[in-house]
Structures are given as structure tokens and as C-alpha cells.
Amino acid sequence: MTGTRPKGVSISPWHPPHKAREVVEWLTIAGRFLQLAGILSAFGALLFRLLIAPRAVEGGRALPALIGASLLLALFGGLVRLLAECAVVNDAGSVAAAVAAIPEVVRFSRFGTFLAAQLAFIVLALALPGGVQAWRPVVRVALVGGTLVLAAGSGHAAALPDGEGRLLWAVETLHLFAAGGWLGGLAPLFFALGTATIERAARMVRRFSMLAMVLVGALALSALIQAVALIGGFGPLLATDYGRLALIKLGLFALLLGLAARNRLVLLPALEGAAPVPALYALRSSLARGMALGLLVLLAASLLASWGPVLPGR
């Protein structure tokens, strides 16, 4: 819910010079990318801590550091987005003017309200120490998960009527949860394999592989529903910039699936076989390539989120 704007207070359209407008647009995309990458990485690392390596002994100090750095990245990206969007308000031509517009944007726009809540959740997750108590990682997962729910609600779902919008919000939330659990889990698995024994490494890879199969299925299903809702068919998919970028994202996703299949069907049996050390090196190399592809997928997703969807029938 957003506030009711009092009489005399308005969020006016911005008409800056062309170059300045381009800078703000790219800052918005960059902020979205950094925030998305950070929050998905934090969610995946926290889920890895809960489900794959409960005692976090395999990752040493790398896992807590990864979680903290990811949350800081998400916070920074969110602040960049907020400032860039506020530059649109009241013809804000400077950083100071954009900062001054923050209260108005937060109070009177869905985007501002949701983004402010996301930043608050991230700050709370950062402030909560990791510790060894079982409840702490659960609370941090809940906080980061809440951030993903709000991120989904301020996306393309906001452009649809109430019923369709709520359905797409739920689907986009599932999509982000699945992406965070799978893509966000690649980095903690990479670091954990660097210090684990062969037996522990094989156990972690098998656990992660089983979880990833479920998450990939959820990711594919939610992506299909979003494509139907936002694109509508093969015509717009090929004829619009939005559709063509969605195809590029699909191609990157297919490459990720190929790496995951090789890890599961070829490298995991080798890790459990007679030559585990070369297989372990190959697995870490494959995970590094997967992380690079994952960043490209997130970049494509950030661009798609910044562009208007086709919205068939409207």
C-alpha cells in the first residue's frame, strides 16, 4: 500500500537532456543488476548454509564473508536504484536534489515503498550476526526471502490488473526463489569444494544436485508462465527487442543446464570413482563458468525488468 498524495504534492515527469536521461537509465539498470546479483547470492548462500552444509565447516570463513559481501552489494545496488529513480522526480538535476526527493518517492509510489522495505530487510539481515544458533540463519533467510518477494511485487506484476498482477507476483516470486537457490548456490559450493575432503565434496555435490533439479524445474515453469503473460507468443518473441533479449536469456539458461547436466552425470560419478582429484578440479572449473553465465543471465534479467513487456492483448 502507498500513501495518498496530499493536495499540491505531485511526482512530476522528468524531461532532462538526452545524455543525462541515458545516464540515469543506465544507472537504474546497473543498480538493479547489482541489487539482484547481491540478493540472489545472499539467498543462495544462506540456503546452502541451511540445507547443504548445515554446520558451515566445509566453507570455512568464505561462506560468512560471501553472505556479508552479497548483502552489502544488494544494499549498494538498491541505493543506486533509489537515487536514479528519484532523479526523475521534480526535475532533480543533482544528487542532493535526488536525495531530497526520496521521502516523496517512498511515500507516494509503489516502487519507492517496496524498495525502501527491501533496503530495510537487507539492513536487518546485515545487522543480525551469523552465530551458531539454529534460528539465526533461518531468520536471515526469511529476511532475504522477504526482499525477493518485494522485488517481484515491484516488477512487471505491477503493470497488470489486480487478479493477474497478484498471480504474476506469485510466479515471479517463485522464479526469484528458484534462481537464488540454484545460481546463488554456485559460489558457496565453489568455495566449499576448495577446502573439503573428497568424501565431503561428493556428499555436498550430490545434495546440491538434488536440490538444483527441483529448483531448475520451478525456474523453467515460472519462466514459461511469465513468457505467456508478458510476451504472448512466438510473434512478439521474434519481432520485439524485449522478445529477442528473452531469447538470449533462454540461450544462456540452456548453457547453464548443459553445465549442470555434465556436473551431475559425468563429474559427480568421477568424483566418487577412481580419479576423484581431477574430477574435483573439473567441478570447480565448471562452477566458475556457471557463475559467469549466471551473471550474464542476471544482466539480461535486469535489462528485461527495465524494459516494458509486450503485455499481449493490451
The answer to whether residue 240 scores a pLDDT higher than 90 is no
The closest alpha carbon to 153, from 186, 126, 182, 121, belongs to 121
**Best CA proximity match to 172, nearest among 223, 209, 210:** 223
Asked whether residue 313 is assigned to any structural domain, the reply reads no
Please write the tens of the pLDDT for every residue from 94-149.
Answer: 778 888 888 988 998 888 999 999 999 999 999 987 655 567 888 999 999 999 99
Strand, helix or coil at 60?
coil
User: pLDDT: is 292 or 87 the higher one?
Assistant: 292
Specify if 142 maps to a domain.
yes
Residue 97 belongs to some domain of the structure: yes
Instruction: Report the C-alpha gap between 314 and 6 in whole angstroms.
Output: 31
Cell 524498495 belongs to 115
The candidate with the shortest Cα–Cα distance to 64, out of 127, 121, 131, is 131
Q: From CA 25, how far away is CA 88, in angstroms rounded?
A: 10
Q: C-alpha angle with apex 151: 80 to 239, nearest 5 degrees?
A: 90
Residue 195 located in a structural domain: yes
Q: Mark 279-297 as b/e (b = at least 16 C-beta within 10 Å).
A: bbebbbebbeebbebbeeb
What is the Rg, in whole angstroms, of the alpha carbon atoms belonging to the chain? Answer: 21
Residue 5 lies in a domain: no
Model confidence band, residue 60 (pLDDT cutoffs 50, 70, 90): low
When the pLDDT of each residue in the chain is averaged and rounded to a whole number, the result is 85
Residue 31's nearest CA partner among 95, 107, 83 is 83
What is the pLDDT at residue 95? 78
Q: Which of 187-191, 223-227, 275-279 has the lowest mean pLDDT?
A: 223-227
Q: Which domain holds residue 205?
A: 18-306
Predicted local confidence at residue 5, as pLDDT: 42
- In DSSP notation, 114-143 reads HHHHHHHHHHHHHHS---S-THHHHHHHHH
The dihedrals phi and psi of 13, each to the nearest 5 degrees, come to -65, 150
How much of the chain is in helix, strand and coil states, percent to nearest 5? 80, 0, 20
Domain contains 145 = yes
28-54 pLDDT, tens per residue?
A: 899 999 999 999 999 999 999 999 987
Report yes or no: 34 and 75 within 8 Å, Cβ to Cβ. Answer: no
- With CA atoms as reference, report the closest residue to 173 among 187, 154, 199, 159: 154
Question: Residue 109 to residues 5, 20, 75, 98, 101: CA-CA distances in angstroms?
Answer: 9, 23, 20, 15, 12
**Mean pLDDT across 146-160:** 82
Count of domains forming the chain: 1
Counting every residue written for the chain, the total comes to 314
Could you tell me if residue 314 is inside a domain? no
Pick from 304, 289, 310, 309: nearest CA to 33: 304
Instruction: Name the burial class of residue 271, with classes exposed (0-12), middle (13-18) and buried (19+) by CB atoms within 10 angstroms of its CB.
Output: buried
**Does residue 13 lie within any of the structural domains?**
no
3-class state of residue 173 by DSSP? helix
For residue 13, pLDDT over 50 is answered with no
- Is the full-model pTM beyond 0.75? yes
Q: Say how far apart CA 86 and CA 105 lie, in whole Å.
A: 7
